[in-house]
Structure 1
Amino acid sequence: MSHRAPSIAPSTTSSRTLRRHHRGSRSHTGGSTYRPQNEFPNFAQTGDVEIVIAAEGQERRYILHRLILSQCSGFFEASTSEEWSRQNGAGLGRIGEDGADDLPVHTGSSRVSSAQKAGDGRIRWRYELDWQDDEDIPMLVRKPLQPPSLFGSSSSHSPQPPPPPPSKPTSFLRNMTHNFSNTTVQTASSYHPQLPSHSSTQPVTTADSETLQDYDNLLRIFYNHPPTLHPSNIAEAYIQCKTLLQLADMYDALPIIGPRIDHHLLQFQGRLWKQIAKYPPSYLKLGYLARSKVIFAEALVHVVGSWPSGRGQLVRGGVAPQVLEVVEDKVDELAERRMLVEARLFRITLTTTKGDRVTPQNAYVDWLALSLFRSWLIDNIGGVPTIIPSSANSGSGNQTPSAANSSSSTLYRKMGQAGSAYLAHDECKKFLRLSRPEDHGRETLKRFERKLDEIKAMAREAVRPLMKHNLELDAGGGGLGYLTCTKVEEEDYPWD
């Protein structure tokens, strides 16, 4: 058996050596807590962009990749470009180990300064959050890299501030912030991601702390990590999603952030539809920024149906002109549809067995039934329409009646129902006695009501286009007080 010893011992020794070497290679960070060295948010081995976000004594530091950031954000794509660097006099980390030579930093370089390194990574771009203007949303600005000191430590930042990075104006976003805050339900506390979502003792966080979380969510989504958004409180989730979309708009990253927001909010289902019904202008803007067809369409139906009640809020909130254009087009379409329906209602008539239109001479009782319906229609609809649009002359928004008249909406719903929703038995009986007191027998009343039922059936068919319910909200439109028949087509979404 001795011949087996040489073959077993080396194998055992080798495997143990490999295991010890593997265990030893995992503890370069020091301390008792193991921290991955090349994972989000600290890609110390491969990252080339440093982002520092500090507020109220808190600081979050990220070592990320220019390639991913520029693919997700137009801001990073522009501000890390060589053209932008040349125009603004910003070097791309051209500082050698001795602080004197002009060695470009790249993957194959063997000489990298301590100022350019974070762990084993090679930093070529550095950004910090700028809090100089209290009225503006804090924005990342590019900073020059820190030259190393004689002892290898980083010196202070250059006192000369860099030029402002290329970004969109923030005045529009500030207006949106105020408008969104004024139109959403106010909550007593903010969601804290370190506490369970069901905790009833969640601490109130400041706006600056929330900014840290907003930026963290932005960068997490860039790396395909789920954002920290409230999973059960839709009011809190809405506020978080709104501010996250504002950041995405600032950094030209809406196509990346929008789908995440859409996915998170749609999980609320029924509660989401109810919130949209309460705050349709706010959700219309959110749906537009998130590129959410479902949220945008749901809010648009509410806004158009209740128009012009939401116009002021949309205008004050600085809604995109193309969104307002879609709303106004849909308002005109709905007004035109209402006018067509009303014209059809006033054209309702009865005929005799010979096909002649009823008159007091050939069918007096039938004519009375038609007269009662038309009189009721004029009293409730506000008069006979004087302009009947045609296919050749449509969309005349200044000629059509208001598309947001709650009393008219109630009227249409009454006519859309069968039975005695309007002009019931007692009204018929009273009218017939007043109009023909010498003949108000049972047979006359039955004929009168039978003819009125025929008229109601024609009216029900005439208003059918207005009775469509194009909402996800399971309310049938009955309790909303306005029409919900607006149909949102693919070409109505105001984004590319």
Structure 2
Amino acid sequence: MVSYPDSQGAERSLAIRRPPSVASHSSRASTVRRHRPHRSLFGGTSIQPQNEFPVFTHTGDVEIVIANGRKEERYLLHKLILTQCSGFFEAGTSEEWANAGEGGSAQNQNSAVQARIPSSAVALQKKRWRYELDWGQNGDVPMLVQKVGLSLTAQTIFGGDGPPPAQPPPLRNKPPTPSTGFFRTMANFSSVQVTTTQADPDERVFRDYDNMFRIFYNYPPTLDPISIGKAYVGCKSLLHLADMYDALEVVGPRVDHHLLRFQGRLWKEIARFSPSYLKIGYLARSKAIFAEAMVHVVGQWPQDIDQLRNQVPDAVLELIEDKFDEIDELKAKVEGKLFRMTLTTSRGERVTPSNHWLAWLAISLFRQWLAENTTPPPAPILKSPRHPGSRNGETLPPAPPPIFNTGRIFRLLGAGGSAYLGHEECKRFLKTHPGQYYDRETCRKFERSVEELKNKARDIVKPLMRNFLELDLGSQGGGLPYLTCTRIEPQDFPWDE
């Protein structure tokens, strides 16, 4: 699509009185501009240099090239912005880095470049840095590598004096990865683009670098706003890239903001995949996501230990262990109170078998139920099998016992009512005693004693029933099978140390 200049504006410019030579020159220039072909995003013979993200032709001094032979993206950015956002660029563009290693050869190359620059353009010359993405060998993490010794003029990225641009690397024999399709990250992207009919297998790398640079320049990253699963994958990949370039302080808040927009759906996803979101919350320095995931992880600990060991810093594991020990101590205190719980007679005496046999039976039933449900089951006594399981000639170790979590039992105690020790269970218990204890009136008195014990137990377990989740537990079908009373204090976040 071709646009045309404003004819009224052209007439106003001709109406200004000028010396004849200037007026005639302006008239000819207007005529030339009227018929000059305009720049097209789809190619053309005339390209107007831009000075906006991602290519700041007039002010940029750091050139970054990301190419894989099929596709190429170029950025011309500012050292000031990059060094403020990334420790990697702060070190790479420092004087210490420039004077180390190949400093001598760099000065010689710079002198050769300066010799080719006309004297009239010396004033426009300035220090430039150039980075290219090194894909490495199979399995290596792609990383930007600085091309040392390039002191370029402002025209280099689009031609002119200076060394010729490096050729893009050859096609890499890399197996294709799943992708939802090819898309551009910026509508006004003017860098060289090699289009293909299929999605590029390295599209995620291109996207992550573009998102990181967009965030550096205060543009929103292109992350999925609808599917929280796709948004998680994109945020995780972007955070790992930012971690490589020491830019988490800048990228993390953007990721945090994007994920928190999912609100209720985010809290449900954290409940399902709490170890994964704990890592995301730590990298993004997101207090809300980290605290939410921490409550789930501590409540189920040590169930998720294999997913977190060697995946998060030791400070995070130490925090989990400390919070788990705090809950364990609180549960021990609560259990002690529950086992010491008793009833009294109408005269205020403690119930014993001699002064109130039926109430004493109710206390015995409650304590027996509590002991059975808060104590791990004994290990089964089985004979050694004649042919133990083996793999590749090696005997397999016995399977570890399932993790015993008493959170569900304390939730039943906190619910009270018919959640446990209901009418049928009380009736079965009374049937085991002589007949005079199994009539309708006796059963009602026995159930009243059990109900009194339940009410006392509900008050005792209240400290364990506190919920520090943003998740609505009502949407989880009556609650989670573990405790959610872990509270993350402001001084607990491991990145504030």
TM tier, shorter chain? 0.7 to 0.9
1:472 aligns with 2:470: yes
Q: 2:208 aligns with which of 214, 217, 235?
A: 214
Distance 1:152 1:381, change over 3 A: closer
Q: 2:326 aligns with which of 333, 349, 357?
A: 333
Q: What secondary structure does 2:74 align onto? A: strand
Deviations, residues 369-417 of structure 1 (Å, cap 9, x unaligned)? 1111111111222279xxxxxxxxxxxxxxxxx99634x2222222122
Distance 1:96 1:450, change over 3 A: closer
Aligned to 2:301: 307
Q: What secondary structure does 1:68 align onto? A: helix
Deviations, residues 227-279 of structure 1 (Å, cap 9, x unaligned)? 11111121111111111101111111000000000011111122222222221
AA aligned to 2:180 is S
Q: What secondary structure does 1:61 align onto? A: strand
1:295 aligns with 2:294: no
Deviations, residues 139-179 of structure 1 (Å, cap 9, x unaligned)? 11110245789x94624669xxxxxxxxxxxxxxxxxxxxx
**2-structure distance, mates of 1:334, 1:349:** 25
Identity among equivalent positions (%) equals 50
Contact 1:405 1:482 in 2 (8 A): no
Aligned to 2:495: 495
1:269 aligns with 2:268: no
AA aligned to 2:432 is L
Q: What secondary structure does 2:415 align onto? A: coil
1:279 aligns with 2:287: no
Aligned to 1:392: none
Aligned to 1:393: none
Contact 1:47 1:121 in 2 (8 A): no
**1-structure distance, mates of 2:198, 2:290:** 31
Distance 1:207 1:137, change over 3 A: farther
Aligned to 2:60: 47
1:190 aligns with 2:180: yes
Contact 2:130 2:150 in 1 (8 A): no
Contact 2:110 2:149 in 1 (8 A): no
Q: What's the C-alpha RMSD, in Å, of the aligned pairs?
A: 3.8
Quote how far apart the aligned CAs of 1:326 are. 1.2
Q: 2:137 aligns with which of 126, 133, 136?
A: 133
Quote how far apart the aligned CAs of 1:430 are. 3.1
Q: What secondary structure does 2:113 align onto? A: coil
Q: What secondary structure does 1:242 align onto? A: helix
Quote how far apart the aligned CAs of 1:13 are. 2.9
Quote how far apart the aligned CAs of 1:337 are. 1.8
Deviations, residues 426-477 of structure 1 (Å, cap 9, x unaligned)? 3223323433422444433322221211100011112222222222222346
Distance 1:282 1:28, change over 3 A: farther
**2-structure distance, mates of 1:483, 1:9:** 76
**2-structure distance, mates of 1:472, 1:85:** 50
Distance 1:35 1:292, change over 3 A: farther
Aligned to 1:182: none
Contact 1:332 1:403 in 2 (8 A): no
Distance 1:304 1:14, change over 3 A: farther
Aligned to 1:380: 373
Quote how far apart the aligned CAs of 1:367 are. 1.0
**2-structure distance, mates of 1:453, 1:301:** 31
Aligned to 2:419: 421
Contact 2:49 2:57 in 1 (8 A): no
**1-structure distance, mates of 2:299, 2:14:** 79
Aligned to 1:322: 315
Matches within 5 A, 1:417-456: 417-456=415-454
Distance 1:286 1:429, change over 3 A: same
**2-structure distance, mates of 1:93, 1:155:** 18
**2-structure distance, mates of 1:30, 1:121:** 29
Aligned to 1:154: 163
Distance 1:412 1:321, change over 3 A: same
AA aligned to 1:12 is A
**1-structure distance, mates of 2:284, 2:67:** 27
Aligned to 2:335: 342
AA aligned to 1:154 is P
Quote how far apart the aligned CAs of 1:85 are. 1.1
- Higher mean Cα deviation, 367-376 or 18-27? 18-27
Contact 2:291 2:488 in 1 (8 A): yes
Contact 1:52 1:59 in 2 (8 A): yes
Normalised to the residue count of structure 2, the TM-score between the two structures is 0.75
Aligned to 2:253: 259
AA aligned to 1:53 is I
Contact 1:245 1:290 in 2 (8 A): yes
**2-structure distance, mates of 1:419, 1:19:** 94
Long gaps (5+) in structure 1:
1-7, 104-108, 114-119, 159-186, 197-202, 385-401
Quote how far apart the aligned CAs of 1:46 are. 0.8
**2-structure distance, mates of 1:481, 1:100:** 72
**2-structure distance, mates of 1:29, 1:122:** 32
Long gaps (5+) in structure 2:
1-10, 42-46, 168-176, 187-196, 378-400
Quote how far apart the aligned CAs of 1:205 are. 3.7
Deviations, residues 38-96 of structure 1 (Å, cap 9, x unaligned)? 11111111111111111242111111111110000011111111011112234788867
